[in-house]
């Protein structure tokens, strides 16, 4: 017997709908929901432990998003026919959802919590990542887990000047704005996306439009929970509170932390000074007391430390390193640092440093994407590495972290629109973060720009990036340019913006406070623009424009198109011709077929121009097609009894038979009476002879025809041209 199902429909205003359904699946989870849009279906569940593990002072939240290949009627690729570790796109979706959910759990809720979202059915017209946030929040609303308020996420795109919520993949290709917005009914909490050099006001308008759609989705979650029967929020054991202890520690440490913050010292000096204050606080208590209340002592010290740093900025407009709110840290840059890479650069801003490299390759080096929802390839991609020494730490490296994938994706989105469409190369950028104290992802954008220009990639425009922060106490606020790592941790906003001199190309924003006004948002965007332009000037002072050509040791790329009928001839049986040609010329040759024109696209990659020229000449020879009625220079390469084999000099290897009867007007008994091997002979091309079905060329057609001689009649023959008289008809 099918259990009772509850559902709620959300209208998108253009005939499309989203349906929330619960009661049928995964009923042992604390909360579960199926979200449907078109034929796309997501199942979201949430489970939270009833008790927190002792000693944990944070929320162990896991957000997991997986796309099942069966959802699209496909098999997983590779040898193992089973879904394994998550793809980059799945990880990016997990991050989008996590960043909105995490701040809305109670600060003192430390029970292990797991949100799982699974794509169960895929409609090619519906992008499932835009529904993941809605699904996760709805599952939580249907549970008894403490959570502040429902949220949702939507994708907003602008196509032909019109905003669209949750566009299809095909529609998104035409958009000049592609953003994911996460928010509650009251406040925007998360923004991430890419744009085609749009203005700050246009970006703010897109956020407003998305927020209106989110309000409707939040209301639908509340209505569904009420229809099912809203569960009582579970009770849990929160953190211990000791107001008297908090006041005592605040009084003992606040001013000391304020004074340290005001000195404007380096990260290490500050860290050491704050640690000394913390040790002084601990010395106020006995070892027995610290065993009992040590966690509270650390917690209240951190609280006093945070208050002091924030108050310094709000009261005096000063920051931890001595800057004002709009100051950018000192910058120095360098290009062509690594001698054997195809392009390289160093970007250093304060205590953050990124070393970027560029590698150029063929289409064979493209990053292949094979997921249930996307089958595509990337001809431009960026990888970001964040080793522990960059922050002065020693810790094990266990693969690429979610953070590295997220930061690399942001930098890639910032730069990819500036790589010209006709760039013949596959381009890989790798950013090695060597020092980090605030916004290494924006340092990656800056170093990536310079490395691409150093490599000779003809960027449309250089791109710079900056991270903005915010400190607010409700009545006062300060927008901070080029934030430090501590300001990110202690502040209320982390807002990364990248762009050219003309407009924004990408952004990522996380807001930790409620009710951020659009006035503050626009102010932050405009202040970010000033900072971006300042940094951009430093980049262009170092390298004003892309190098005119690639480096001497970097591969040159030439792309030619050939008729589809010649692809096999260039490749040869079993790849014999192309392999021999690559070996002979020391090049890499890749042939792809244009699905529209069915032409062959030949990519020739090599460091030696002479080798590339040889390949081009060989291709010209193979694809050479003489035109009927044209005259060509040929070389005799073989003598036969019935003619000479000649080779077109402009297409070596392209041979044709010059028949003995076409050598001269006079009767030719021996071919060698007229031509010999090595002779250069002009011939006229007559196309395919309809009788022999073979190509016909002629030497004699280019020679003057000898005058016609009248032949003497034989005995008893009448002279040529003389007519025999007609006989008269007999009379009947």
- Which string of b and e fits 267-303 if b means at least 16 CB within 10 Å? beebeebbeebbeebeeeeeeeebeebeebbbbbbee
Q: What is the pLDDT of residues 489-518, one digit of tens each?
A: 888 889 999 999 999 999 999 988 876 778
**Which contacts of 679-682 are long-range, i.e. CB under 8 A and separated by 24 or more positions?**
679/635, 679/636, 680/633, 680/634, 680/635, 680/636, 680/649, 681/633, 681/634, 681/635, 681/636, 681/644, 681/646, 682/631, 682/632, 682/633, 682/634
In this prediction, residue 56 has a pLDDT band, given cuts at 50, 70 and 90, of: confident
CA gap 375, 365 in Å, rounded:
16
Q: What is the pLDDT of residues 334-365, one digit of tens each?
A: 999 999 999 999 999 999 999 999 999 998 89
As a whole number, mean pLDDT of residues 617-622 equals 87
As a whole number, mean pLDDT of residues 174-190 equals 94
Contact, 459 vs 539, CB < 8 A? no
In this prediction, residue 732 has a pLDDT band, given cuts at 50, 70 and 90, of: very low
Q: Which residue has the higher pLDDT, 715 or 557?
A: 557
CA gap 513, 82 in Å, rounded:
42
Contact, 653 vs 646, CB < 8 A? no
- The predicted pLDDT at position 291 comes to 87
Structure tokens at 22: 């619960």
In this prediction, residue 401 has a pLDDT band, given cuts at 50, 70 and 90, of: very high
Ranges of beta strands (E only) in 256-342 are 331-335
Q: How many helices (H) and strands (E) does the chain have?
A: 14, 29
In this prediction, residue 266 has a pLDDT band, given cuts at 50, 70 and 90, of: confident
- Does the pLDDT of residue 606 top 80, yes or no? yes
Contact, 117 vs 136, CB < 8 A? yes
Structure tokens at 139: 């599952």
CA gap 130, 147 in Å, rounded:
21
User: How far is the CA of 248 from the CAs of 38, 238, 254, 284, 304, in angstroms?
Assistant: 59, 22, 10, 10, 10
Structure tokens at 619: 């291709």
- Does the pLDDT of residue 301 top 90, yes or no? yes
- The predicted pLDDT at position 159 comes to 95
- The predicted pLDDT at position 489 comes to 85
User: How far is the CA of 470 from the CAs of 90, 105, 197, in angstroms?
Assistant: 30, 22, 24
Q: What is the pLDDT of residues 202-224, one digit of tens each?
A: 999 999 999 999 999 999 999 99
- The predicted pLDDT at position 418 comes to 96
Q: What is the pLDDT of residues 100-130, one digit of tens each?
A: 999 999 998 999 999 999 999 999 999 999 9
In this prediction, residue 731 has a pLDDT band, given cuts at 50, 70 and 90, of: very low
Three-state secondary-structure class, residue 713 = coil
CA gap 19, 660 in Å, rounded:
82
As a whole number, mean pLDDT of residues 302-331 equals 93
Contact, 639 vs 677, CB < 8 A? yes
Alpha helix segments (H runs only) across 509-647:
518-542, 567-571, 576-585, 609-622
As a whole number, mean pLDDT of residues 476-480 equals 91
- The predicted pLDDT at position 595 comes to 84
- The predicted pLDDT at position 225 comes to 96
Contact, 245 vs 297, CB < 8 A? yes
Contact, 658 vs 645, CB < 8 A? yes
Contact, 44 vs 115, CB < 8 A? yes
User: What angle, rounded to 10 degrees, do the helices at 518-542 and 200-228 form?
Assistant: 130
Bridge partners for 698 per DSSP: 684
Name every residue whose Cβ is closer than 8 Å to that of residue 80 and which is 6 or more positions away in sequence: none
Three-state secondary-structure class, residue 584 = helix
Structure tokens at 650: 């402009």
Question: Which residue, among 23, 48, 45, 38, has the nearest Cα to 224 in the 3D structure?
Answer: 23
DSSP state of 692: T
Q: Token pair 């500036």 is at which residue?
A: 418
Residues in the chain, total: 732
Using a pLDDT cut of 70, give the percent of the chain over it: 97
In this prediction, residue 144 has a pLDDT band, given cuts at 50, 70 and 90, of: very high
CA gap 477, 610 in Å, rounded:
64
Per the prediction, the chain carries an average pLDDT of 91
Tell me the CB-side half-sphere exposure of residue 531, using CA atoms within 13 A. 31
- The predicted pLDDT at position 726 comes to 52
- Does the pLDDT of residue 654 top 50, yes or no? yes
Contact, 709 vs 674, CB < 8 A? no
| Cα dihedral 604, 606, 611, 612 sign | positive
As a whole number, mean pLDDT of residues 249-263 equals 93
As a whole number, mean pLDDT of residues 529-533 equals 94
Q: Report residue 467 CA to chain centroid gap.
A: 20
- Does the pLDDT of residue 454 top 50, yes or no? yes
Residue 177 sits at the vertex; the CA angle it makes with 408 and 537, to the nearest 5 degrees, is 60
CA gap 451, 441 in Å, rounded:
15
Provide φ and ψ at 543, rounded to 5°: -145, 110
- The predicted pLDDT at position 724 comes to 52
User: How far is the CA of 507 from the CAs of 269, 380, 405, 442, in angstroms?
Assistant: 32, 19, 15, 10
Say whether pTM exceeds 0.75: yes
Name every residue whose Cβ is closer than 8 Å to that of residue 451 and which is 6 or more positions away in sequence: 335, 343, 344, 345, 356, 357, 358, 429
- Does the pLDDT of residue 653 top 90, yes or no? no
Question: Which residue, among 283, 107, 194, has the nearest Cα to 503 in the 3D structure?
Answer: 194
Contact, 610 vs 571, CB < 8 A? no
Q: In this predicted structure, which of 543-557, 631-645, 712-726 has the lowest mean pLDDT?
A: 712-726
- Does the pLDDT of residue 260 top 50, yes or no? yes
Q: Report residue 607 CA to chain centroid gap.
A: 27
Structure tokens at 105: 């759990």
- Does the pLDDT of residue 53 top 70, yes or no? yes
DSSP state of 682: E
Structure tokens at 17: 């709908």
In this prediction, residue 727 has a pLDDT band, given cuts at 50, 70 and 90, of: low
For residue 580, count other CB atoms closer than 10 A to its CB.
12
């Amino acid at each position: 017997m099918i259990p009772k199902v509850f559902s709620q429909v959300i209208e998108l205003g253009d005939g499309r709908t989203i349906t929330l359904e619960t009661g049928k699946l995964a009923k042992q989870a604390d909360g579960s929901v199926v979200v449907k849009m078109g034929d796309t279906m997501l199942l979201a569940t949430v489970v939270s432990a009833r008790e927190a593990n002792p000693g944990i002072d944070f929320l162990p939240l896991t957000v997991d998003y997986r796309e099942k290949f069966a959802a699209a009627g496909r098999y997983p690729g590779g040898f193992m026919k089973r879904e394994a570790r998550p793809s980059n796109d799945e990880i990016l979706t997990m991050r989008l959802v996590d960043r909105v959910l995490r701040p809305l759990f109670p600060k003192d809720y430390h029970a292990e919590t797991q949100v799982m979202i699974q794509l169960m059915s895929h409609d090619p017209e519906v992008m499932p990542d835009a529904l993941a946030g809605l699904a996760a929040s709805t599952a939580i609303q249907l549970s008894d887990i403490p959570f502040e308020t429902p949220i949702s996420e939507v994708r907003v795109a602008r196509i032909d000047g019109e905003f669209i919520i949750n566009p299809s993949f095909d529609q998104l290709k035409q958009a000049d704005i592609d953003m994911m917005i996460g928010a509650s009914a009251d406040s925007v909490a998360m923004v991430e996306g890419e744009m085609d050099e749009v203005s700050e006001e246009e970006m703010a308008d897109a956020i407003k439009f998305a927020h209106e759609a989110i309000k409707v989705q939040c209301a639908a979650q509340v209505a569904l929970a009420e229809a099912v029967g809203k569960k009582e929020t579970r009770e849990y054991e929160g953190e211990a509170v000791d107001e008297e202890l908090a006041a005592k520690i605040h009084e003992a440490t606040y001013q000391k932390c304020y004074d340290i913050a005001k000195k404007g010292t380096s990260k290490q000096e500050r860290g050491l000074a704050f640690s000394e204050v913390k040790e002084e606080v601990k010395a106020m208590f006995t070892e027995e007391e610290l065993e009992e209340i040590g966690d509270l002592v650390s917690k209240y010290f951190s609280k006093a430390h945070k208050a002091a740093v924030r108050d310094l900025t709000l009261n005096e407009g000063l920051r931890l390193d001595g800057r004002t709110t709009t100051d950018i840290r000192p910058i120095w840059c360098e290009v062509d640092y690594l001698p054997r890479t195809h392009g390289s650069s160093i970007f250093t801003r304060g205590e953050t440093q990124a070393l970027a490299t560029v590698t150029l390759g063929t289409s064979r080096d493209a990053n292949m994407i094979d997921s249930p929802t996307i089958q595509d390839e990337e001809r431009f991609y960026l990888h970001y590495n964040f080793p522990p020494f960059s922050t002065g730490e020693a810790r094990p490296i266990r693969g690429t972290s979610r953070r590295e994938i997220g930061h690399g994706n942001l930098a890639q989105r910032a730069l990819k629109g500036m790589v010209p469409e006709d760039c013949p190369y596959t381009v890989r950028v790798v950013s090695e973060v060597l020092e980090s104290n605030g916004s290494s992802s924006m340092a990656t954008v800056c170093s990536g720009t310079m490395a691409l220009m150093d490599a000779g990639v003809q960027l449309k425009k250089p791109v710079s990036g900056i991270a903005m922060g915010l400190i607010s106490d409700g009545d006062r606020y300060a927008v901070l340019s080029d934030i430090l790592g501590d300001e990110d941790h202690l502040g209320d906003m982390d807002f990364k913006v990248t762009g050219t001199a003309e407009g924004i190309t990408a952004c990522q924003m996380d807001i930790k406070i409620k009710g951020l006004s659009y006035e503050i948002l626009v102010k932050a965007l405009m202040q970010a623009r000033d900072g971006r332009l300042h940094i951009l000037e430093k980049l262009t002072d170092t390298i004003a424009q892309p190098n005119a050509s690639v480096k001497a040791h970097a591969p040159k790329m030439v792309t030619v198109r050939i008729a589809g009928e010649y692809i096999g001839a260039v490749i040869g049986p079993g790849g014999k011709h192309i392999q021999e040609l690559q070996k002979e010329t020391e090049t890499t040759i890749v042939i792809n077929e244009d699905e529209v024109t069915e032409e062959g696209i030949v990519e020739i990659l090599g460091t030696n121009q002479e080798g590339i020229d040889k390949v081009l000449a060989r291709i010209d020879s193979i694809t050479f097609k003489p035109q009927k009625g044209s005259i060509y220079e040929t070389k005799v390469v073989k003598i036969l009894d019935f003619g000479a084999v000649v080779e077109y000099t402009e297409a070596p290897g392209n041979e044709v038979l010059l028949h003995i009867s076409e050598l001269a007007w006079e009767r030719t008994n021996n071919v060698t009476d007229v031509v010999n091997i090595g002779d250069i002979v002009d011939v006229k091309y007559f196309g395919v002879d309809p009788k022999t079905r073979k190509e016909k060329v002629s030497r004699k057609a280019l020679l003057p025809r000898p005058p016609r001689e009248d032949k003497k009649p034989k005995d008893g023959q009448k002279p040529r041209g003389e007519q025999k008289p007609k006989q008269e008809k007999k009379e009947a």
